[in-house]
Structure 1
């Protein structure tokens, strides 16, 4: 009897447990091979010290070891998946390639190329839903259109959801794993991939075990999430974003935790997970939003901000402590607290009058948890150009935001030690201090503000008001 063979192509799902495509492969074929491709199209766009490569490389290595423990192995390749995946499927005699669906424009284009090549060779690409609870067209309005406002989407999500949707997919421990050869090539090193040591210390440890540990520890903090999540100086958030991004923790595991507790903190966190899906379905239906303002009225908006202001923002030299501390956190760890993402985005667009796409691109280059849908959605929300954006006339005041969400300056002191000696009031706006510590010189010890918030706010209102 001829055995049916399949290839499981791991991408944003770097785990064996609770994996939709892996389950499909094991349920429908006799023999399963595993492959991961370091996509050269993506890698060539990254800096040589990109810390995400270290995270991914570790997780892939962990996955390879897990497969070896089950009698198989993971073939790890480097190159163009549109070429390598069909070639590997043909070389191994696989009739089907299984993978979990990715909703980003590049991934959709790549997968279409792979599917066409496989079809031409007499095999097929099967894509499964794995990184969201509801995907694509599964949640539509009464007019059969995509949701473009979060609250109605959230209500529809909650109404449609039932606990079985968060159950993990069954274990595939009995799968008949096979190596792709007795002398399987070793996994390429970071150096062989063209990457060196990262210049930052990542905020999150890589790998599935690290992700599950974070999930377990967050269980104890979850009841207080709604009260602590906006305070960057407090350990109130989950830290799971990078693990959800690369699939070392599944969305079902996260949602299962959220629904396991009946309290305000758990409900609030579930809404954050729903926001993630809202932006995923939005990008699926409106891929053009990845490159232009969702709202047509703002597509021709000319931002008059100075380029050197953008450089100061990137380097944490704006003279606004909460903004600068947030940018230092990003530059040093590859992570930024969500409240701070809103503050610095508003400041870049509404105070410095810089195109939101500049900030989005900087985040894309720096964030360990970078996800195109969430990053784009968040930036367009802050810039008032998105589908469910804050109105253009609501502009974050960086000083009052700082006073409200870092009242004792704990976060600011952590990333701006030159301000440590300032009192809890002066640390939010040193230029307004009646008395500064001995030896502290504004403009030398710490920059003076590069713009006046009140003046820039009026400029932003005028700029955006013309288009509304």
Structure 2
């Protein structure tokens, strides 16, 4: 009998629950990845380019193990029917389940397909430390606030690292679907290139070790400063499963105690929390969780949205962050909060517009965390920032990029400015503009809005929504 291991967001050959079971319980095993064109995000999506490059890295790793990662390309049902036709003896399939979003709906469809084909599905939870249904209140409901959730989270025993013995004698190595593989290769060739992007299990382990050795102890303070680049940078590996969350937790937990370690572990709990929130609010990608703010009258100015995407708002920290995103596919977490607050609270643009743009651009895009983060910043989610708390992009710049060095890295127009002037170039006198060789409105845009005025307007919009929802 033949079994299939279907990789999705678990692109590794170690510490993988479904893969371990597949090797232990199978006589012959097909390692499989399915490419569904219905999921494609467009030719300029850095998210898409990075994800499928990770698949390519896994394919290469399987080859080094003297195996083959078989590629199916096309409609889900048609692909599995084709697999059953090619291997009539296929009897079992092993997967690590998704609990939210597209992945959950895909798994429901796939379950029916497997039943029709007479294939037994074996599903496991692998992508989070604790699954969405594992932590509930004493009354059996989902938590809405992080702190009590975290208090219970940290008391629970954490799952250990899973040993996987890769037995290539069990692997079916002869390529099964050469046409599908050719389609996938052609698709890869069309993806937008990403500079200096290190992907794969080995790169993930190297990054984890570097983070623990160099940045973990001071993570609680250094993580807020974009120029220090002291965050873990593990998110791009975790979202594809190039490294297991269990491995990350285990190695961090073994390190010496520090405030940085405590803060980082709390961030891992936030990752589980947002997964739980998405499972309990399955429509949160399209609907605000907080009913009081479903009636906000967003202005949705398309020109403002374009200015924001291109990093041309006239607010240097916002612009530097957005240019970092467009150039690298990544953005520092402090800046994700600043740019999201600016879009929703200063420009009064629907948070869903921003969430969708981040989905296209982020190489570490995780739907639960990204949607949760946007609803947090927009004050529309659960346990969100209060609607009247609005980040001031200028004071955020002065506090977290005091000398303006991060700004200068991504906005060369401002590289000659002094640190005291760079946070709000609109206040430069004509003489100062000439001294710096930078004319406001010509070399760098004037602020497209007044933060002070927009703050008042936004608070009123949210308060009106509260009134209209009652």
Q: TM-score, normalised by structure 2?
A: 0.93
Partner of 1:322: 317
Report the Cα distance in structure 1 between the residues aligned to 2:169 and 2:163, rounded to whole angstroms.
15
Match of 2:187, SS state, is coil
Is 1:231 matched with 2:225? yes
Partner of 1:130: 126
Report the Cα distance in structure 2 between the residues aligned to 1:8 and 1:226, rounded to whole angstroms.
39
Structure 1 residues 133-181: Cα deviation after superposition (integer angstroms, max 9, x where no partner): 111211001110011111111111101134xx1x221122236432264
Report the Cα distance in structure 2 between the residues aligned to 1:365 and 1:168, rounded to whole angstroms.
32
Partner of 2:379: 384
Match of 1:36, SS state, is strand
Is 1:245 matched with 2:239? yes
Report the Cα distance in structure 1 between the residues aligned to 2:238 and 2:121, rounded to whole angstroms.
24
Offset of residue 127 of structure 1: 1.5
Distance 1:200 1:449, change over 3 A: farther
Maintained 8 Å contact 2:372/2:381? yes
Q: Tell me which stretches of 4 or more aligned residues in structure 1 moved more than 6 Å.
A: none
User: Out of 4, 14, 18, which is 1:17 matched to?
Assistant: 14
Partner of 1:32: 29
Maintained 8 Å contact 2:46/2:362? no
Report the Cα distance in structure 1 between the residues aligned to 2:436 and 2:226, rounded to whole angstroms.
28
Maintained 8 Å contact 1:115/1:124? no
Report the Cα distance in structure 1 between the residues aligned to 2:436 and 2:117, rounded to whole angstroms.
75
Distance 1:264 1:444, change over 3 A: same
Partner of 1:109: 105
Match of 2:4, SS state, is strand
Partner of 1:6: 3
Partner of 1:368: 363
Partner of 1:413: 408
Residues 174-253 of structure 1 mapped to structure 2, 5 A cutoff: 174=167, 176-179=169-172, 181=174, 185=178, 187-188=181-182, 192-193=186-187, 196-198=190-192, 200-201=194-195, 204-220=197-213, 221-253=215-247
User: Out of 328, 331, 342, which is 2:326 matched to?
Assistant: 331
Is 1:78 matched with 2:73? yes
Report the Cα distance in structure 2 between the residues aligned to 1:249 and 1:263, rounded to whole angstroms.
24
Match of 1:289, SS state, is coil
Maintained 8 Å contact 1:48/1:194? no
Question: Which range moves more in the overlay, 76-85 or 433-442?
Answer: 433-442
Maintained 8 Å contact 1:258/1:267? no
Partner of 2:90: 94
Match of 1:75, SS state, is strand
Report the Cα distance in structure 1 between the residues aligned to 2:183 and 2:81, rounded to whole angstroms.
24
Offset of residue 107 of structure 1: 1.4
Match of 1:219, SS state, is helix
Residues 281-296 of structure 1 mapped to structure 2, 5 A cutoff: 281-296=276-291
Structure 1 residues 379-414: Cα deviation after superposition (integer angstroms, max 9, x where no partner): 000000001100101010000111111111111000
Q: TM-score, normalised by structure 1?
A: 0.93
Partner of 2:438: 440
Report the Cα distance in structure 1 between the residues aligned to 2:403 and 2:335, rounded to whole angstroms.
16
Equivalent pairs counted in the alignment come to 459
Structure 1 residues 321-368: Cα deviation after superposition (integer angstroms, max 9, x where no partner): 000000000011111110000000000111011111111111111111
User: Out of 320, 338, 343, which is 2:338 matched to?
Assistant: 343
Distance 1:121 1:263, change over 3 A: same
Distance 1:66 1:306, change over 3 A: closer
Match of 2:32, SS state, is strand
Is 1:148 matched with 2:144? yes
Maintained 8 Å contact 1:6/1:29? yes
Match of 2:237, SS state, is helix
Unaligned runs of 5+ in 1: none
Report the Cα distance in structure 1 between the residues aligned to 2:84 and 2:144, rounded to whole angstroms.
39
Structure 1 residues 272-327: Cα deviation after superposition (integer angstroms, max 9, x where no partner): 11111111111112111111100112222221242211111111110000000000
Distance 1:108 1:296, change over 3 A: same
Unaligned runs of 5+ in 2: none
Offset of residue 86 of structure 1: 4.9
Report the Cα distance in structure 1 between the residues aligned to 2:175 and 2:427, rounded to whole angstroms.
70
Is 1:169 matched with 2:162? yes
Maintained 8 Å contact 1:33/1:72? no
Report the Cα distance in structure 1 between the residues aligned to 2:355 and 2:220, rounded to whole angstroms.
26
Distance 1:270 1:188, change over 3 A: farther
After superposition, the CA RMSD in angstroms is 1.9
